[in-house]
Structure 1
Amino acid sequence: MLPRRISNKRVSLKSNRLSSGNRPSHAFFSSSPVLQDYADTIQNLKIGNHTRVIYQGFTGKQATANAKQSIEWGTKIVGGVRPGSTGEHLGLPVLPSVRAAKEQLNPDATAIFVAANQAAAAIEEAIEAEIPLIVAVAEHVPLHDVMRIHSILSTQSKSRLVGANAPGIISAIGKCRIGFQPLPTFSPGHVGIVAKSGTLSYEATASLTRAGLGQSLCIGMGGDIIAGTNFVDALRVFETDEDTEAIILIGELGGTAEEEAADWIKDYKKRTTNPKPIAAVIGGFQAAPGRVMGHAGAWTGIGEGTSESKYRALENAGVTMVDHPAKFGNVMKGLLSSGGRNVQQIQNSAASQSRGFHTSRTISRPRPSSAHSSVTSKRNLHITTTQAANLLEPYGITISPTTSAAPSSCFLGITVDRSARSPCIISSPTTDPSKLPHLARRFPFNWHTGPSQATILSTLSHLQLSAATPAVQSSAAALVYSLWDLYKSKEAISLTVHLSLSSSSDTLSIHDPSFTFDDAAFKSASRHPALHALRDLSAVPTAELTAESHGIVYIPLAPPAPPAPPAAPANLIGTLVNGAGLALNTLDCLCVRLPSSPPSNFLDTGGKATAATISASFSLVLSDPRVAVVFVNIFGGLTLCDMIAEGIVLAYKEVGVEVPVVVRLRGTNEELGREILEGSGLPIVPFDGFEEAVREVGRLLGEEKQDQ
C-alpha cells in the first residue's frame, strides 16, 4: 500500500487539466452549458477603446510615467490603487484596495506595476476582486509564487492573467495599452502578434507599421517559465477576431508552447476554408548549452523543444518562417495577397505612422546550432551532490554512490510542467541519455494539494514498477512525497534522482541527485538565504559575477581566450543588446550574415539599464581581447535610448574603447539618443535599421562582400 501522507487530499478534475491549448478550439465560443474554467477567460483578452483600466501601484514613479503616456495615447484609465490610501492622482481617483476599485470604478483590466516580491499578492487581490484581465509586467517573480497563483486561476472563470515578465497587451486599433510598449512603433491595423520577447515584438510592430499594415492586438506572452497566457490562447482569440487578418508568433528556446501552437495551427488549417496567414520567428539557435538565456524560461528542459525543433514544427504546420522580425511587413503583404485578401484595402484602413522606416533586405534563415543539451541551467542555484544529500537526510533518504546505468535504472523527480502551469512528477524507465528525453513523461498536479495517489500510481506504472513488490512501490512513493515536500518548502525548479532496483533485495538505491532552486525567490523576496549561501562563488567566472552586480546577463559564447594574446585578432563581434529575445535573435542573425566573425557573447542589459550599466557592459564585452567590433543593438521599451547613448559616451571616457563601435538605436527616446551620440564627437554613426548596422559591422571586419 502506498504511503497516505496526502492521500486524504483530492485533486479536482479542474486542477488536473492541461492548459487551455489542449481543449477543443470551439469550447471557448460554445453556447452549450459546459464546466467553466480558466480557459473560458480567453475572451477577456479582447481589449479596446471600451476597456476601463486601473493601476495597482498607481502612484509609483514607473506607473505614473506609464499612465501619462497611455492616457495621452487614448487608453481609458479610470483610476488606481494604493493600499490603505484614498485620494487623487493624475486627476483620477486613488482607492485603498482592488475590491474598492472594482466596486467604484468597474474596471475591465488592471495593470500591476509593483516590485517582483509584491506581484503575486497583487495578482491574487485582483483575482479575488474578479478583475477580468490582469496584466503583470514585473520580471523575477518567484516561480512558486507563480505556481500558487495558477493553482488559484485554475479554479475560477472570471480573471485572465497576462505575464508576468511581459510588456503587456496593447490594442492599436482600440488605442488601449496595458503595459510599457513603445507607442511610436504601433499603428492601427490588422495583424495580431503574440510574443515571448518584448523587444522582438517591437521590431515586428515597427515592420508592420512601415509596411502600412499596422496591428490589431499584440499580446506579450512573456519570457517566464510559466506564462499566464500562451500562444494557443492568443491564437484562439485571433482566429475569430474580425480585426485580425493575419497572425505573427515570436518564440524562443524553452518549453513546448511553440510545438503546441504548431499542433493547433495544423488543426486550424484543416477545419478552416480560408485560414488567416501565420508567420513566425524563433530565437535561440546560438544559445549556450545549459544556460538560461536572459529570460527565466529560456532554457531547454528534458523532453522540451530546442529552437530547431520549434522552427521545424511550425514550418511543418504551414507557418511562414523568417529569421528577423524586420521582415514581417513585406512577408505579410505577400501572404495576405496570395491568400486572396485585399492588401490595399487593409493598408487603407490602417492608420500608418508618418515617421520613416527602413526596409530590410531578404536574408537566409538562422543557421541551426547543434550545441543544445538539457544539462542544468546556470542562472539558478544548482547545488552539489553532497549538498543535495544533506538536504535529503531529514527525510531519511540516503544517497548511494553513483552506479553505471543498468536495465533497472530509472529517472524520477519533481519539476515544472509549463503547459499545465503547475508542478509535475517527471519520470522515465531509463536513464540512458539517448533515450531519456524521448521516454520522459510528466504527471502534473496541483501546487496546493500536491500529487494524488492516482498520480503516484501512474508514475510507478511508467517507471515499470507496477509489478514490483509492495515494499518497493511504497519506497518509491515515499520518495516522491519527500521530494515534493523539499521542492515546495525550498522553492526548487527541478529535483531529480536516479533509481536502481537491487536484484538481490527489494530495495531501491537512490543516486545522482540533481537539484536546482529558484534564485528569484532569494534575490527578489529574500527567501531561503541559508540555501542560497551554498552557492560556490569561486566556480563562477569573475566577469559573470560583475555582470550580476549590475543587473546584466552576460554569457560568453566563444571558447576562452588563451593566457597570452593571440598573434592576430580573432575578429569576434562583441554584442550589447537590451532584451533577452532581441539578444538571442541578434546572435542568430550575426552567425548567418558574418560567419567568419562569430559573436563573442550574449549580453542583455536588462530593462532598467542606466548609463553606468552600459559602461559596465562595455567593460565586460571588451574583456575578451579577440573582440574586433562592438555591436550595440537597442530597441527600447522600458530601456531608454538616450540612457544607452549616455552610457556609450561614459564607456569611452571610463573604459577606453579602442575598437570600432556600431550602434543601432530604435524605440523610446531614440531621437534624443542619436542627438547625444552625434553631438559627442565620438567616431560613432548611429543606425536605426538592423540590416544597415550589420552591414557596417561586416565592412569593419572585412566581410562587406558577404552575401546579405
Structure 2
Amino acid sequence: MTRIALPRGGWSARFPHKALLKHGTYGNVAPFSSGSLRLGYADTIKNLKIGKHTRVLYQGFTGRQATMNAKESIEYGTNVVGGVKPGVEGEHLGLPVLPSVRVAVEKLKPDASAIYVPGNGTVKAMEEAIENEIPLIIAVAEHIPIHDILRIHQMLRTQSKTRLVGANCPGIISTHGRCRLGFQPLPFYKEGNIGIVAKSGTLSYEAVASTTRAGLGQTYGISMGGDVLAGTNFVEAFQILVEDEKTEGIIMIGEIGGSAEIRAAEWIKEYNRSTPNPKPFMSVIGGVQAPAGRIMGHAGAWAAPGEASAEKKIQILQDAGVTIVDHPEKLGEGMKKLLAERLGSRNAGSASASTPSQRRGYHTMRQRPRTVYPKARTPEQRRTLYIKQKQAYDMLNERGIPTVDPPTIKDEKFVAISIDRETRQPCIIASPSTDPQYAFQQSKKFPFAYGSDDATSEDLLAAVSKHLEVSDTGKRSLQRLISELVEIFMSKEAFVVQTKFALDDQGGLQVQGAKFGFDDAAFRSSGRQAEVHALRDIESEVREDVEAEKEGMIYVKLEGEGSIGTIVNGAGLAMNTVDALVARGGHPANFMDTGGKATSETIKAGFRIVSSDPRVKVIFVNIFGGLTLGDMIANGILLAFKDLNLAVPVVVRIRGTREVEGQKLIQESGLKLDAFDSFEEAAARAIALAEGTATMDK
C-alpha cells in the first residue's frame, strides 16, 4: 500500500521536531520514557477554569462577527486583551491588533483564544493557536471537514498545553467569572449553581432558560458541540464541575451518535459510589425517534456500527443514577427538587439518601412509543454523503477487491474504517458476525493514529484477525481489504467505509455488501473531493430533502401516519421536538432543522416544504430565539403564512429573546395561528388539532 498524502499536510510535516504518538489510548498520556511520565492532552482539562482572570485573544478580531461578539463579551465583563489580523498591526475597539498569533502571544500573554476566522481559515487558526501553546481555544465554526478535525486532534493528543472547546458549538461561559468565550445569548444567563454541558446549542439555551426561570441560575455552560469529534467531552467537563464549589447540580444534554454519554454514565456511577452526598445529575437525550442510518442535522448525530441508540443511552444513564426528562423545560423545577433532596440528605447526615437508586425518584420520563421505519429506505436517500453500493463496489474493484451481489456465502463478517470518538482517532471496526442480534455485542474498535501506518501494522492486523476469527489462510486477504479500505477512507475523506465480507475454504475473500459515506464538508467548505461529490444521484433522493438543502436547512421525512409537520431552529431541539411529540401521543411527519437562526426567509421555505406533504394536518413551529429576536421571528411567521396562503393551522412556540412580544404579535394577528410559551401546552394543542379533537377559532 502506498503512503497516503494527508489533506492540507500533516503534523509530522508541519512540526518535524515533535513525534507522533501511536499508542491510541483515550487518556492521552504517552508511554513512559527514561523513567518519567510524559504529559498529554488530559492535563489540559484544568484550562477550562475560566473567569475574571482569563485574558482573551480574538483570532479574526476585525471581522464583523468577531467585532459584534467582542463588544457584547467586553460589556458582559470578559477580559478581552486584543486580537489578531494576519499582517496587520493597529487598534480595534480600543485594543491592540497584532499581525500574527506568535506576536500576540508574546505581547498579550493570552489564556484563551476565540476563533472567528471565516471559511478555511478556521483550521489554520486552530493550528497556529496550538503551535503557540495558547491554553484554551474556542472554535465555534460549523462545517469544518472531518479529516481536518482528525488532524487537529492528532496534534492535540501529542501535547499538554492547549485545550479545545468545539468545534461547531456555542463555546464556554462562566457566569460568576463574567467570562464568555463564544456566542451564548447572555440575557438568559444568571449567576447561580447549575453547571450545564451540552452537545446541542439550542437545547443548552433551553436548559439555561429553564434553570433561570426556576431561580437556580448557572455556574458554567460548557459545549461539546455537535460534530463527530469534540475537543472537550462530558467526562472532561464533569471534572471541572464536581470540583467547582459554586456548582451544586449538573445537567448534560446528549443525543444519538458516539458513546460520550455511555462513558459519562460510567464516570457518574463511580462518582456516586465514591462520593458522600454527590451532586445530582439530570439529562435530556435527543434522537430516540431518529431513523436508523440518518444524520440528524448535527454532523455527529449518527451512530457508527456498534454504537448505542439514544434509547440505550437513556437506560444506561438511568442505571447510573441520572434523572432523565424528556424535555429541557422540565430541567429547572426538576433540579430544584433534586437539590432539595440533597440538602435534606446533608442535613440528616444520611449517606444512604444520596444513593443513585433513591435520587432517580424524580421521573418525568414517559414510556416512549417507538416509530418503526420500513427497511425499504435505501442508503442513498438517507444522506447525500452516502453513495450507492454499486459505486462502492466500483471503488473496491478498481483496487482489486472482488465483490459479489447478491451474497453467495452465508458466513459473513463485518469490517469498517470509521471514527472512534472516544480516542478521537480513526479506527477499524470489526465484528465476527453480521447478524443484528449479535453484531452489536461482538463489535470492537481498533483505533490508530491519523496519518500513520498503524492501521496496517502487523500487530494491529493480528489483533483484528483474531477478533474476527480469521484463520491463517485468510489473514493475507483480510490485510489487503483493510489496507484498501484505509486508503479509501483517507484519500477520499470518508467518515465511514464499511463492508460485509466472506472467506472461502482457500482463504479467498469476497465483499458481499458495502456502504461508503463521505464528508460533504470537504467539498462544500474546502472545494476538495469534487470527484466523490459528483457521484451523488439527486434524482434518487427524497424531494423535500433536496429542497430543504437548497435553502440551507435539513429535512428528514418520517414514515407512518405523520400528521404533524415540524419546523425547528437547531438540530438538537428538532430531534427533541420529534421525540417529545411522540412521547405525548403525536405523530410527527418530519424532522426539520432550519439552522441556528430562524429568519422570515427560512420560516417561509420551511412552511412551503412541510405543507407540501399531504399527510400534514397541522404545522408545529418550535423556535428558541437566542441571538434572534422573538418579535422578528413572529413577523417572519406572519409574512410567510400570508404569502403562502396556508390552509392548515399553525401552532407556534416561541421562547427566548423578546418572546412575549413575539407571542403577542401572533395571538393578535387574526390568522389561524396559536402562540404559546409552554412546550406542553403547544404540543397538546398541535396534537389535538391533528387528531381533530380541537378546531381553530379564527
Q: TM-score, normalised by structure 1?
A: 0.87
In structure 1, distance between residues paired with 2:384 and 2:685: 37
Residue 383 of structure 2 aligns to a residue whose secondary structure is: coil
1:369: Cα distance to partner? Answer: 2.0
Q: 1:633 to 1:256 in 2, by over 3 A?
A: same
1:115: Cα distance to partner? Answer: 3.4
Q: Is the 8 A contact 1:290 1:375 kept in 2?
A: no
Structure 1 residue aligned with 2:630, among 638, 641, 644? 641
Instruction: Report whether the alignment pairs 1:443 with 2:450.
Output: no
In structure 1, distance between residues paired with 2:388 and 2:480: 23
1:59: Cα distance to partner? Answer: 1.7
Q: Is the 8 A contact 2:282 2:323 kept in 1?
A: yes
Instruction: Report whether the alignment pairs 1:497 with 2:486.
Output: no
In structure 2, distance between residues paired with 1:612 and 1:199: 20
Partner of 1:241: 244
In structure 2, distance between residues paired with 1:209 and 1:542: 41
In structure 2, distance between residues paired with 1:438 and 1:293: 25
Q: Which amino acid aligns with 1:650?
A: L
Q: Is the 8 A contact 2:323 2:363 kept in 1?
A: no
In structure 1, distance between residues paired with 2:216 and 2:687: 31
Structure 1 residue aligned with 2:590, among 566, 584, 601? 601
Instruction: Report whether the alignment pairs 1:415 with 2:415.
Output: no
Q: 1:123 to 1:536 in 2, by over 3 A?
A: same
Residue 216 of structure 1 aligns to a residue whose secondary structure is: strand
Q: How does 1:584-595 map to 2 (within 5 A)?
A: 584-593=575-584, 595=585
Q: 1:278 to 1:187 in 2, by over 3 A?
A: same
Partner of 2:523: 522
In structure 2, distance between residues paired with 1:315 and 1:326: 19
Q: 1:125 to 1:653 in 2, by over 3 A?
A: same
Q: Which amino acid aligns with 1:154?
A: R
Partner of 1:232: 235
Q: Is the 8 A contact 1:41 1:160 kept in 2?
A: yes
Q: Is the 8 A contact 1:15 1:154 kept in 2?
A: no
In structure 1, distance between residues paired with 2:433 and 2:562: 44
Q: 1:537 to 1:187 in 2, by over 3 A?
A: same
More deviation, 382-391/540-549: 382-391
Q: Is the 8 A contact 1:116 1:140 kept in 2?
A: no
Partner of 2:654: 665
In structure 2, distance between residues paired with 1:497 and 1:12: 33
Partner of 1:29: none
In structure 2, distance between residues paired with 1:364 and 1:271: 27
In structure 1, distance between residues paired with 2:55 and 2:655: 30
Post-superposition CA distance 1:216-268 (Å, at most 9, x none): 11111111111111111111111212221111111111111111111111111
In structure 2, distance between residues paired with 1:526 and 1:607: 24
Partner of 1:689: 678
Q: Is the 8 A contact 1:109 1:132 kept in 2?
A: yes
Q: Which amino acid aligns with 1:546?
A: E
Partner of 1:96: 99
Q: 1:513 to 1:604 in 2, by over 3 A?
A: same
Structure 1 residue aligned with 2:466, among 449, 461, 470? 461
Q: Which amino acid aligns with 1:413?
A: A
Residue 686 of structure 1 aligns to a residue whose secondary structure is: strand
Structure 1 residue aligned with 2:139, among 136, 139, 143? 136
Post-superposition CA distance 1:65-122 (Å, at most 9, x none): 1211111111111111222222222222222222222111111111112335332211
Residue 434 of structure 1 aligns to a residue whose secondary structure is: helix
Structure 2 residue aligned with 1:387, among 377, 388, 391? 391
In structure 1, distance between residues paired with 2:88 and 2:600: 35
In structure 1, distance between residues paired with 2:406 and 2:616: 42
In structure 2, distance between residues paired with 1:34 and 1:217: 31
Q: How does 1:40-119 map to 2 (within 5 A)?
A: 40-119=43-122
In structure 1, distance between residues paired with 2:234 and 2:111: 22
Partner of 2:258: 255
Structure 1 residue aligned with 2:333, among 321, 325, 330? 330
More deviation, 128-137/622-631: 622-631
In structure 1, distance between residues paired with 2:460 and 2:71: 50
Q: Is the 8 A contact 2:562 2:589 kept in 1?
A: no
Q: 1:520 to 1:366 in 2, by over 3 A?
A: farther
In structure 1, distance between residues paired with 2:19 and 2:462: 17
Q: Which amino acid aligns with 1:547?
A: A
Q: 1:571 to 1:251 in 2, by over 3 A?
A: closer
Higher relative contact order (CA 8 A, sep 6+): 1
Q: How does 1:25-36 map to 2 (within 5 A)?
A: 34-36=37-39
Q: 1:477 to 1:178 in 2, by over 3 A?
A: same
Q: Is the 8 A contact 1:415 1:495 kept in 2?
A: yes
Partner of 1:562: none
More deviation, 390-399/456-465: 390-399
Residue 435 of structure 1 aligns to a residue whose secondary structure is: helix
Residue 339 of structure 1 aligns to a residue whose secondary structure is: helix
More deviation, 572-581/113-122: 113-122
In structure 1, distance between residues paired with 2:172 and 2:416: 36
Q: Which amino acid aligns with 2:327?
A: H
Identity %: 52
In structure 1, distance between residues paired with 2:650 and 2:371: 30
Post-superposition CA distance 1:512-550 (Å, at most 9, x none): 222111111111212111211111111112211110001
In structure 1, distance between residues paired with 2:41 and 2:157: 5
1:673: Cα distance to partner? Answer: 3.9
Q: 1:310 to 1:100 in 2, by over 3 A?
A: same
Residue 170 of structure 1 aligns to a residue whose secondary structure is: strand
Partner of 2:609: 620
Number of residue equivalences: 658
Post-superposition CA distance 1:594-638 (Å, at most 9, x none): x1x411111110124432111000001111223222211111234
Q: Is the 8 A contact 1:142 1:524 kept in 2?
A: yes
Instruction: Report whether the alignment pairs 1:365 with 2:366.
Output: yes
In structure 1, distance between residues paired with 2:562 and 2:571: 24
More deviation, 40-49/62-71: 62-71
Q: 1:601 to 1:123 in 2, by over 3 A?
A: same
In structure 1, distance between residues paired with 2:690 and 2:346: 40
Structure 2 residue aligned with 1:653, among 639, 642, 651? 642
Q: Is the 8 A contact 2:552 2:595 kept in 1?
A: yes
In structure 2, distance between residues paired with 1:638 and 1:673: 14
1:12: Cα distance to partner? Answer: 7.8
In structure 2, distance between residues paired with 1:129 and 1:204: 35
Q: Is the 8 A contact 2:196 2:251 kept in 1?
A: yes
In structure 2, distance between residues paired with 1:212 and 1:343: 21
Q: 1:682 to 1:368 in 2, by over 3 A?
A: closer
Q: Is the 8 A contact 1:136 1:164 kept in 2?
A: yes
Q: How does 1:306-345 map to 2 (within 5 A)?
A: 306-340=309-343
Instruction: Report whether the alignment pairs 1:556 with 2:557.
Output: yes
In structure 2, distance between residues paired with 1:193 and 1:577: 22
Partner of 2:475: 473
Q: Is the 8 A contact 1:55 1:63 kept in 2?
A: yes
In structure 1, distance between residues paired with 2:407 and 2:267: 43
Q: Mind listing any 5+ residue stretches in structure 1 that lack a counterpart?
A: 24-31, 345-360, 560-569
Q: Is the 8 A contact 1:135 1:178 kept in 2?
A: yes
In structure 2, distance between residues paired with 1:400 and 1:590: 43
Q: Is the 8 A contact 2:20 2:158 kept in 1?
A: no
In structure 1, distance between residues paired with 2:386 and 2:50: 41
In structure 1, distance between residues paired with 2:635 and 2:265: 43
In structure 2, distance between residues paired with 1:88 and 1:510: 61
More deviation, 241-250/663-672: 663-672
Q: 1:676 to 1:71 in 2, by over 3 A?
A: farther
More deviation, 140-149/366-375: 366-375
Post-superposition CA distance 1:434-458 (Å, at most 9, x none): 2222211110001121423321221
Q: 1:326 to 1:634 in 2, by over 3 A?
A: same
1:394: Cα distance to partner? Answer: 4.2
Instruction: Report whether the alignment pairs 1:16 with 2:23.
Output: yes
In structure 1, distance between residues paired with 2:214 and 2:206: 12
Q: TM-score, normalised by structure 2?
A: 0.89
Q: Is the 8 A contact 2:369 2:582 kept in 1?
A: no
Q: Mind listing any 5+ residue stretches in structure 2 that lack a counterpart?
A: 5-11, 13-17, 30-34, 348-361
